[in-house]
Amino acid sequence: MANQAKTELLLEITGIHKRFGGLHALNDVALSINKGEIYGLIGPNGAGKTTLFNVLTGLYQPDEGKFTFKGIDLFRQKPNVVVESGIARTFQNIRLFHNMTALENVMVGRHVRTKAGVIGAVFRNPGTKAEEAAIRARSLALLDYVGIRKHAEEHAKNLSYGDQRRLEIARALATDPQLLALDEPAAGMNGKETDDLKRLMEKIRADGVTILLIEHDVKLMMGLCDRIAVLDYGKKIAEGVPEVVKNDPRVIEAYLGATPD
Ligand SMILES: Nc1ncnc2c1ncn2[C@@H]1O[C@H](COP(=O)(O)OP(=O)(O)OP(=O)(O)O)[C@@H](O)[C@H]1O
């Protein structure tokens, strides 16, 4: 039987508002992401993209709206509840433990899914040792997966910028997410690094993880995303497949300038 693409809703938000004093940073935003999609979020500087990420990962409490993930209500939930539900993220400004090794950074992420937790790992007792070995093995496998296994024992701060971004992705994957939210992962990367990153994102999706992506590199977004939403002044002004979004006059005016390419 031919493969029928079955659409399964993973994340849904409706009517999301977030205000900072008089600034309406998110104004009635709605979007839904299906399982297996690479879903892009674009928009000019200050449009509200990172604010939306912060709402979706529990860092900001929205003022109004609805937010469900796999049908679970995550409205105004704390970051740890969001992570445990299966949403992981990376940050626009890389947030690693700079004086820990690459391996240790991933192991910290992995502790979300273990019984011992970070405290158990620090005060190592015999009961946690077997679990610790499993965490280490899984973390090394993740470093291998993102292509930086050879840097496992190096301090995070000594890795190249591109490799630090890969490390952040490995750490996020260590929490076993169903949705991986990446905030400008290609920022500061050269052409080759960006191409490699694109392939990594395609591999992650092929392995069953849905991706939500903020990126300013429009060419990358158009070639990678299944659907794209466009924010402008906190409002969603367009949503659809890249070809449609890139030719939408509102998007051209708000974001892409005069030339859609
Ligand atoms: N914690 C905060 N307190 C006050 N204002 C904030 C806060 N976070 C974001 N804002 C404001 O909300 C608006 C949206 O910012 P946000 O960072 O979400 O935009 P963005 O689309 O991610 O922009 P960029 O592409 O530059 O990263 C901006 O005007 C910003 O100054």
Name every protein residue with a CB atom under 6 angstroms from any ligand 1 atom.
20, 23, 25, 43, 45-51, 92
Contacts of 214 (CB under 8 A, 6+ apart): 40, 41, 42, 49, 50, 53, 92, 182, 183, 184
Segment holding 218, helix H or strand E = helix 218-224
Q: Which of 26, 51, 213, 217 to mutate to test the pocket of ligand 1 (most atoms within 8 A of CB)?
A: 51
Which bin fits 183, alpha (ψ -120 to 50), beta or left (φ > 0)?
beta
For the segment 8-26, the average pLDDT, to the nearest whole number, is 96
Query: What does the alpha-carbon distance between residue 186 and residue 165 come to, in Å, rounded to a whole number?
Result: 8
203 found inside a domain: no
- Domain boundary among the residues 176, 202, 228 is at 176
Atom index in ligand 1 nearest the CA of residue 92 equals 27
Same domain, 63 and 107: no
Q: Flag whether the ipTM exceeds 0.90.
A: yes
CATH number at residue 121: 3.40.50.300
56 found inside a domain: yes
Same domain, 29 and 100: no
- Domain boundary among the residues 176, 200, 220 is at 176
For the segment 22-43, the average pLDDT, to the nearest whole number, is 96
Could you tell me what percent of the chain has a pLDDT over 90?
75
Task: Kindly indicate the confidence band of residue 259, based on its pLDDT and cuts at 50, 70 and 90.
Answer: very low
pTM for the structure as a whole: 0.90
Contacts of 155 (CB under 8 A, 6+ apart): 98, 99, 100, 101, 102
- For residue 129, the CA-to-ligand 1 centroid distance in Å is 43
pLDDT at 258 over 70: no
Q: Nearest C-alpha to atom 29 of ligand 1 is from which residue?
A: 46
Same domain, 63 and 186: yes
46 in Cβ contact with 214 (< 8 Å):
no
Q: Nearest C-alpha to atom 4 of ligand 1 is from which residue?
A: 20
Please, what is the angle between helix 126-146 and helix 102-110, to 10°? 120
Same domain, 66 and 184: yes
Same domain, 105 and 139: yes
Sign, CA torsion 65/69/73/78: negative
- For residue 50, the CA-to-ligand 1 centroid distance in Å is 7
- For residue 26, the CA-to-ligand 1 centroid distance in Å is 10
Query: What does the alpha-carbon distance between residue 261 and residue 252 come to, in Å, rounded to a whole number?
Result: 10
Same domain, 65 and 41: yes
47-79 confidence digits (pLDDT tens): 999 999 999 999 999 999 999 999 999 999 999
Phi, psi angle pair for 149, to nearest 5°:
-55, -40
Query: Which of 2-16, 86-100, 139-153 bottoms out in mean pLDDT, i.e. has the lowest?
Result: 2-16
Q: How many CB atoms are located within 10 Å of the residue 137 CB?
A: 10
- For residue 227, the CA-to-ligand 1 centroid distance in Å is 23
For the segment 148-158, the average pLDDT, to the nearest whole number, is 96
45 found inside a domain: yes
Look up the domain containing 56 and give its range: 8-86+179-190+210-261
pLDDT at 5 over 70: no
Same domain, 69 and 186: yes
3 found inside a domain: no
- What is residue 55's three-state secondary structure? helix
202 found inside a domain: no
Same domain, 166 and 185: no
89-128 confidence digits (pLDDT tens): 998 878 899 999 999 999 988 877 666 656 665 666 666 7
Domain count, the chain: 2
Q: Nearest C-alpha to atom 3 of ligand 1 is from which residue?
A: 20
Atom index in ligand 1 nearest the CA of residue 48 equals 18
